[in-house]
Amino acid sequence: MTMTILVTGGAGFLGSHLCERLLQDGHEVICVDNFYTGSKDNIRHLLAHPRFELIRHDVWLPLYIEVDRIFNLACPASPVHYQNDPIATVKTSVLGAINMLGLAKRRKARILQASTSEVYGDPQVHPQPEAYWGHVNSIGPRACYDEGKRCAETLFFDYHRQAKVDIRVVRIFNTYGPRMHPHDGRVVSNFIVQALKGDPITLYGDGSQTRSFCYVDDLIEGMTRMMDQDAVIGPVNLGNPSEFTIRQLAETVLRLTGSRSTLEYRPLPQDDPAQRQPDIAKAAAALDWTPYVALEDGLEKTIDYFKKTLNQ
């Protein structure tokens, strides 16, 4: 059945891939973005599509349109961007959630919140299951994002309990792939850009902290499955449970790019999580979902993308 689906943050890294997938599935797609971190280049190939519409709008402000479903992805997602204007980050998460939930309530539309593994903070439980409440510094430099997303989850569940809004909530772990911003400060894009330019690869701390990296196609598959099913409202972790140290990632990027960049160690930022690995048992059971793209395969596709964009 063809639906009209709103994607906030639709010109961003994840949003643009989601818009593409929803069009492939036959839906009408309305992309909303204020282009703070999103880019028209990410969706330029969609602008002429007869079922695609772009609206420049800030989710801080209410939006009155006719939609059947809403994917709420709008928010700066990398430390460089969300710490650049922390107040705007909180407002995007909280006011954006209120406005999109209000729209969902008026339209009786199903709405999915793109939450984050950052709600777990610097976790004391490993791997992180959805039942873990987290270990977050509410006044630290990362709190604008961590607590903004936590508050958005609170709003989603309160709108569900009080106003019967049909919600879905996913917690997204580190995701990478083509259309990542080259200067967003995230570790995969950082390492690839530095390696391709021959610059030193910067590792924070001793490089022993771990992350789990999910390729974007796997993540989008999980999000669409979550939206389409009726068994669970969430939260549900979406991410790749294969765990790597940051040093292992750097060494893999160096090998795949053939770069001669050296490794350069810098102090660890405040509240940077030591470990990050999703427990995806709930996603596997409820969504029949598991990621398939191996790290090296995904990195090769991402490296190819950055080779093209850096040479433009």
Show which residues are catalytic.
Answer: 145
Give the integer Cα–Cα distance in Å for 302 and 284: 26
Q: Please count the other Cβ atoms lying within 10 Å of the Cβ belonging to residue 199.
A: 14
List the strands of the sheet with 52-56, edge to edge.
Answer: 52-56, 28-33, 4-8, 69-72, 110-116, 167-172, 236-238
Task: Using DSSP bridges, classify how beta strands 201-204 and 263-266 pair: parallel, antiparallel or unpaired.
Answer: parallel
Asked if residues 37 and 8 have their Cβ atoms less than 8 Å apart, the reply is no
Two structure tokens written together for 105: 């309530």
d(C-alpha 193, C-alpha 201), whole Å: 9
Nearest to 64 by CA among 126, 112, 107, 116: 107
List Cα–Cα distances, 9 to 121, 129, 229, in angstroms.
Answer: 23, 27, 23
CA pseudo-torsion sign 12, 18, 23, 29: negative
What residues contact 225, with CB distance under 8 A and at least 6 apart? 287, 288, 289
Q: For residues 85 and 59, give the distance between their C-alpha atoms in angstroms, rounded to a whole number.
A: 16
